[in-house]
Structure 1
């Protein structure tokens, strides 16, 4: 069995909009009410996936959810057109950020030798709290092979936001590793979205070697609502901001004990402040291993636009460290809602032959998806239009067209 890392990116749905629903996400709240460009947003995501394929990386997809979520509205005893303040939450395209879909423990880490996925409950934010049933449907379809175990979410009240607060460090993707679960603590101006109890439950369920680390309250207060805004890991490399963790000395010591070869690359606050890190999404990058060797950081264009950030990164790759290449990408529509390249993808280490092939991409499939997006995704949606779209039948029809093209009509429901 050949294990590789596959990035499963969420396709941006046709209801992509800026409603400012995510407390603690500075970009999302700052851009509330802006005109959104769903077509451009989806095409930007597809371009990132295509660039990953050309780097030699394996690429998969997760599909947009039915939006507006009529079932959720019905459970709230209302419906589109009469949902009032529930309407923005019901029509959010936030499932595009697949890093929040689930927590993944690859087979080399688990006691039973299967890859375990626990769907995230996302209970802290109302607009995301109703994502998990559809996410679970997709994960159970994509990973139906006996090589996987797909789990229900951790029950309330313990908030879990998936892979955005989880890191894995190992010698190579296919070797056993140590899994790092990062949680927050309540307090300060913004909520802590990842509860330690949720992380502990997932670690027990997956039966893995785990470290539990508290995210720095300073980072959360600065707008790092998920750990992946201030830290990212790949194989034996941890790339993090100086103020990412509450007790980094203890964490780093524990990590070095578990994985002596670990290389910790820490960006000092004197070079890049927390505010600059959050604004540029320097750490919300895909840190990937290239087939030819070495690692690359797939970064948002915003990182290149910040002189202090880019100067530090250029010095990093000019050295003899493991990160050898910087790959800026345009995901500005996602960034304006507070999600960078890393937010858009869920990493799964597995044998591609065990994955439902309909969820795996090549350039021809991406081209076909792009044609559908060009034809069916709205070019733009103003805040006023969003508030008066009713049941949004055009968005439902656009999603159905995509499902039919990918032969995934079993994911259809009204």
Structure 2
């Protein structure tokens, strides 16, 4: 069956800021409380979307979430007018105010886990919004994420958007950042690969000692059941707890896959040999052969992989059957990574091209190219059935750039989160965005 992979990139919101809320995300923590540039961040993301769409890749936009989250602030005891709520929160609990203003929804790899119709029991595309319950600032994203997914993928004959898993530690779910799909082609039956960092009901299972493991085995298994996946074509693997403690908070910081290719670091998995063998067996069952591109620690140490976000890249299939690797500028600036990539594209393997983008604003907040996008495989009929207003075109790009220029500040500091005018500006921007994208009522502000 003919199918394409659409990348839904998160559109950076007008309150983009560096709060450093994500313990375990080294880049985020390193830039805590520095000044951010929302306008530049949004334009950098839009430039990436436009370029990939112009190259023929299917590209769409995921709208930002409403900020600040007044519902969260009021639930936590801050009352009065909106201005009063902001002032009280800034004075009494500035970290909670920062959580209510979190920029993290821009990383749509965490919005949901997606299984295409070729893999599901009922022939529909399945989505499960991630509960993200490990961090306060992300724990309510699923409310708007579910609402947005249901607005875009509204046709129940083609799509099923599930509620998130229960928001308890046993079912910690971080979405597609810990999920990869392999297949001989996008429309063929594939193998779905779930990577977890912790096992709730087995205290003897390996787990990190310094940083939290955010994805549980139990959550991954529940998503696989909800999506009606074939157990013979579903692989679960433990992330290496030692690399979690080195800042690899999601699997997509240490590995990325596409088609039948897995590009990964030799320290990515707790049992590398068994993980690769399990993928080979499962892919063999659907008539495909795994191509594992292994990066040794001697070539690129984990610290360099984390600093450059080498693996938080996009692998995109080109018409000639080879693949392009979408990387941030930081990969060129890191000597070990730059040297490795030069050899990679010249080495005759499946990856023969680098596509580089300036995503500095996102990178400083802890997310690279892979964090910014949610991958959704759609047949032609499914692509026609989804909401068309979010598909990236030259016309939409021009509209969104003009919208950003009208509404976004070029500087946001921590003290600005107490400014009620920023909240007013954000609400006005999102109200106009719903008209641009043709999604009235998208927000419950």
For the criterion TM > 0.5, the same-fold answer is yes
1:285 paired residue among 286, 306, 313:
313
Matched, 1:51 2:51: yes
How many correspondences in the alignment?
Answer: 414
Question: Residues 165 and 228 of structure 1 are in contact (CA less than 8 Å); yes or no, is this contact kept in structure 2?
Answer: yes
Q: What secondary structure, in the 3-state scheme, does the structure 2 residue paired with 1:60 have?
A: strand
- For 2:21 and 2:436, the matched residues in 1 are separated by 32
Matched, 1:322 2:346: no
Matched, 1:149 2:170: no
Cα drift, residue 359 of structure 1: 1.9
Q: What is the aligned partner in structure 2 of residue 164 from structure 1?
A: 177
Q: What is the aligned partner in structure 2 of residue 2 from structure 1?
A: 2
Q: What is the aligned partner in structure 2 of residue 405 from structure 1?
A: 436
Moved more, 244-253 or 181-190: 181-190
Change (3 A) 1:390 1:189: farther
Q: What is the aligned partner in structure 2 of residue 347 from structure 1?
A: 375
- For 2:314 and 2:35, the matched residues in 1 are separated by 28
Show the 5 A alignment for 1:15-414: 15-78=15-78, 79-83=85-89, 84=93, 85-145=95-155, 146-157=157-168, 158-185=171-198, 186-208=207-229, 209-260=233-284, 261-351=289-379, 352-389=383-420, 392-414=423-445
Question: Residues 227 and 244 of structure 1 are in contact (CA less than 8 Å); yes or no, is this contact kept in structure 2?
Answer: yes
Question: Residues 294 and 322 of structure 1 are in contact (CA less than 8 Å); yes or no, is this contact kept in structure 2?
Answer: yes
Deviation sequence 1:272-305 (CA, Å, 0-9, x none) = 0000000000000010101343100000010011
Cα drift, residue 97 of structure 1: 0.3
TM superposition score normalised by structure 2: 0.91
- For 2:361 and 2:319, the matched residues in 1 are separated by 29
Q: What secondary structure, in the 3-state scheme, does the structure 1 residue paired with 2:441 have?
A: helix
Q: What secondary structure, in the 3-state scheme, does the structure 2 residue paired with 1:108 have?
A: coil
Question: Residues 160 and 199 of structure 1 are in contact (CA less than 8 Å); yes or no, is this contact kept in structure 2?
Answer: yes
- For 1:291 and 1:11, the matched residues in 2 are separated by 27
Question: Residues 55 and 290 of structure 1 are in contact (CA less than 8 Å); yes or no, is this contact kept in structure 2?
Answer: no
- For 2:145 and 2:443, the matched residues in 1 are separated by 13
Q: What is the aligned partner in structure 1 of residue 202 from structure 2?
A: none
Question: Residues 81 and 390 of structure 1 are in contact (CA less than 8 Å); yes or no, is this contact kept in structure 2?
Answer: no
Question: Residues 57 and 291 of structure 1 are in contact (CA less than 8 Å); yes or no, is this contact kept in structure 2?
Answer: no
Question: Residues 80 and 390 of structure 1 are in contact (CA less than 8 Å); yes or no, is this contact kept in structure 2?
Answer: no
Cα drift, residue 383 of structure 1: 2.4
- For 1:303 and 1:365, the matched residues in 2 are separated by 30
Q: Give the gaps of 5 or more residues in structure 1.
A: none
Cα drift, residue 389 of structure 1: 4.6
Deviation sequence 1:30-73 (CA, Å, 0-9, x none) = 10011000000000000000111122100111111110011222
- For 1:3 and 1:242, the matched residues in 2 are separated by 32
Matched, 1:11 2:11: yes
Q: What secondary structure, in the 3-state scheme, does the structure 2 residue paired with 1:400 have?
A: helix
- For 1:123 and 1:102, the matched residues in 2 are separated by 13
Question: Residues 253 and 309 of structure 2 are in contact (CA less than 8 Å); yes or no, is this contact kept in structure 1?
Answer: yes
- For 1:61 and 1:216, the matched residues in 2 are separated by 33
Cα drift, residue 314 of structure 1: 1.2
